[in-house]
């Protein structure tokens, strides 16, 4: 009789043959296949949880940046920071690295180390760089400041709950975003939210704001656009969250006040609140 006999009458009751301690090749294939199927099934769950965490971090970043702007204003006669420092020609002043000193540079010393100036869902080409006022090193950001409120006083904001000051932006038209007018002369421009027909002041011909992180809007159309998180996040002067769809690129004009209305309005003209 062979040593590999399937049945041994002298073996203890319940004992199994040595061969049963190992998976057959067929069983191993089934196990591997089942593991792969379960793994594939968990991918949507992972992506959902990742995207949810990214959105939460993005909102936290913007809230922290708005808090830093408020502290900056409290130390600057109620005025919010300028968009950028200028050279003798009115262009953004660039350091030896070719980086501008922007509002992001100004608020960095007032911001918490627990926040980031870069949305975790942003692509590398969406990042605009300023000078870090603390270290002199490059400081990346994927958030923009709405231009007309630069250097404006907090008191000039007539509807703090609705006026958007900070919003997710994309640098130099990256990822198919809408950036029809290059800001100033070269360099990064994702730190500022401007307009489709003017980089300095909106008028009655202005139809949209620019550089928002909406992909698929490079031709100015909002119909097929989608945000960095499907939507994008904005934050108002009172630190209320706004969830923006591509249609929110569009502006509205109020002929009674000769200025923009809605979320993309302009500051009140107050005594002592002279233009930049």
**pLDDT of res. 275:** 39
**pLDDT of res. 162:** 94
**pLDDT of res. 43:** 73
- pLDDT < 50 positions in the chain: 1-3, 5, 270-276
State the Cα–Cα distance between residues 265 and 253, nearest whole angstrom. 9
C-beta of residue 222 within 8 angstroms of C-beta of residue 249: yes
User: Cα-flanking dihedrals φ and ψ of residue 162, to 5°?
Assistant: -120, -25
With CA atoms as reference, report the closest residue to 176 among 229, 212, 124: 212
For 206-222, b/e burial (b = at least 16 CB within 10 A) is bebbbbbbbbbbbeeeb
State the Cα–Cα distance between residues 147 and 30, nearest whole angstrom. 61
* DSSP 8-state secondary structure symbol assigned to residue 254: E
State the Cα–Cα distance between residues 136 and 64, nearest whole angstrom. 21
Tokens of 97: 């690295």
**pLDDT of res. 35:** 74
**pLDDT of res. 39:** 66
C-beta of residue 138 within 8 angstroms of C-beta of residue 127: no
State the Cα–Cα distance between residues 244 and 167, nearest whole angstrom. 9
Sorted by sequence, the CB contacts under 8 Å of residue 259 that are 6+ apart come out as: 202, 253, 265, 266
**pLDDT of res. 20:** 52
CA 246 to chain centre: 14
C-beta of residue 168 within 8 angstroms of C-beta of residue 213: yes
State the Cα–Cα distance between residues 166 and 189, nearest whole angstrom. 14
C-beta of residue 51 within 8 angstroms of C-beta of residue 227: no
Write the DSSP assignment of 77-95 as a string of letters: TTBPPPSB-B-TTSSBPB-
C-beta of residue 168 within 8 angstroms of C-beta of residue 191: no
**pLDDT of res. 276:** 41
* DSSP 8-state secondary structure symbol assigned to residue 160: T
State the Cα–Cα distance between residues 188 and 165, nearest whole angstrom. 19
State the Cα–Cα distance between residues 78 and 89, nearest whole angstrom. 27
Tens-digit pLDDT profile for residues 23-80: 677 666 766 776 777 666 667 777 678 899 999 999 999 999 999 999 999 999 999 9
């Amino acid at each position: 009789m062979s040593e590999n006999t399937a049945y041994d009458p002298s073996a203890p009751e319940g004992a199994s043959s040595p061969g049963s301690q190992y998976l057959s090749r067929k069983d191993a294939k089934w196990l591997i296949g089942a593991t792969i199927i379960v793994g594939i099934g968990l991918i949507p769950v992972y992506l959902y949880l990742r995207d949810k965490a990214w959105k939460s971090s993005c909102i936290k970043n913007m809230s922290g940046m708005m808090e830093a702007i408020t502290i900056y204003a409290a130390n600057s006669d109620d005025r919010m920071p300028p968009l950028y420092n200028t050279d003798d020609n009115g262009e953004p002043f660039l350091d030896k690295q070719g980086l501008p000193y922007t509002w992001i540079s100004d608020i960095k010393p007032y911001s918490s180390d627990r926040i980031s100036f870069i949305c975790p869902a942003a692509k590398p080409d969406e990042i605009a760089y300023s000078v870090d006022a603390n270290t002199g090193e490059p400081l990346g950001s994927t958030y923009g400041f709405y231009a007309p409120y630069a250097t404006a006083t907090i008191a000039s904001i007539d509807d703090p709950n609705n006026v958007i000051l900070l919003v997710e932006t994309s640098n130099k038209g990256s990822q198919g975003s809408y950036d029809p007018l290059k800001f100033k002369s070269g360099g990064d421009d994702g730190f500022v939210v401007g307009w489709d027909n003017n980089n300095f002041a909106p008028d009655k011909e202005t139809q949209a704001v620019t550089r928002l992180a909406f992909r698929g809007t490079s031709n100015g159309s909002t119909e097929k656009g989608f945000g960095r998180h499907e939507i994008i996040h904005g934050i108002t002067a009172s630190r209320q969250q706004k969830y923006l769809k591509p249609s929110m690129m569009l502006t509205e004009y109020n002929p009674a006040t000769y200025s923009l209305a809605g979320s993309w309005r302009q500051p009140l003209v107050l005594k002592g609140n002279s233009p930049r």
